[in-house]
Each structure stands twice: as structure tokens, then as C-alpha cells.
Amino acid sequence: MQSWCKKLEAVDAKEKNLISFGKVIKKEDIYSIEFIPKQLISMLKKTDFYLIISIPNENQGKIFIFPLSSSNVKKILIQVDSFNPELIQEISKVLRSLNLNENLIHTNGLCFSESRGCYYETYAYFDSLEKNNITIEDVKKDFLQISKVKNVLILDMDFENYK
């Protein structure tokens, strides 16, 4: 089993409420994943990096593969009180203000049991933020200004963390 797979299996406490697990891999590594049909890989856009997102649940699991233009991808995980159209509009407003709306790769939201809460997550390219000197703390601060947002985590998806 590849070392990055082992890392994904080792879910720590702060990640137990994640909706999905994501990982950026190099193009040469995508061909070594035995369970992905080679025909599928040959149909994907050829890039230097790919984002693999797995979404587990009790009865099934889904795997998505996204060709990437950059390896500078992060996941923004937002814990919220509940979902409603106004909250989604507020989140979209923050994404637009940070110029992340044009850099989104995948977005998802889910409410678990009452004790585990509701989460919104988005995978995005962070290149434009760095070019504009916007920090991770700035991003967190902007999302935390939304009244229904309880917490914000920004997780690095860089392949260097999975060696």
C-alpha cells in the first residue's frame, strides 16, 4: 500500500468530522494506484498534479479525481450551526471577496447527527491568495465573521505532507 494511503487511514481527532479526505498527488503516482482503471486515467486531462477526494459513508464510498493546474490546494472546513440559503450566500460572499470563487475545485456540505454538527468544505487553489499577501489567518477571520460559523480549519493538501 502506498504511504499516502496509510496517511489517509490514520485519521486524527481534528479530522473525525471531515466530510471527505483529499490528497494532491504527482502525475507519476496516479499510475501506481492499482484500483483506478488505466482507461480512466488515460481519459483525464494530463497535468503534473491530481487531487484525489474520497467521500466515505456507512453504505458506500465515492472517489473523485481532479486534474490540477497547481499543487497549492487547501481545504477550507467550516463548522456551522445549520444550513440555510442565507448562510450559503454569506459563504459565497467571503469566497468572492477573497477571489477564491474562481479557484474552487470541489465543494460539499453535510449535517451529521446533532452532536457532531454541520460542515461545509471546499477545496481551492490558494495561489492567488499568496500573490495578494492574504494569509490563512485572514481567510479564517473572514469566515468567522459569519454569524452561523462556529469554527474554521484550513488543511494543506500538498503531496509533501504525505511522503
Domain boundary among 13, 40, 68: 68
Total-model pTM:
0.81
Check whether residue 94 and residue 146 sit in a common domain. yes
Using the predicted structure, report yes or no on whether residue 69 has a pLDDT greater than 80: yes
- The pLDDT > 90 percentage for the chain reads 47
Condensed to tens digits (0 to 9), the pLDDT of residues 114-132 reads 767 899 999 999 998 888 8
Q: What is the dihedral of CA 109, 95, 65, 6, to 10 degrees?
A: -70
As a whole number, mean pLDDT of residues 128-137 equals 89
pLDDT band of 39, cuts 50, 70, 90? confident
Nearest-angstrom CA–CA distance, 87 and 99 = 18
Using the predicted structure, report yes or no on whether residue 92 has a pLDDT greater than 60: yes
Q: 35 Cβ partners below 8 Å, 6+ apart?
A: none
Instruction: Please count the structural domains in the chain.
Output: 2
Check whether residue 110 and residue 146 sit in a common domain. yes
> 105 lies in which domain range?
73-162
Nearest-angstrom CA–CA distance, 68 and 74 = 12
What pLDDT, on a 0 to 100 scale, did the predictor assign at position 151?
94
When the pLDDT of each residue in the chain is averaged and rounded to a whole number, the result is 83
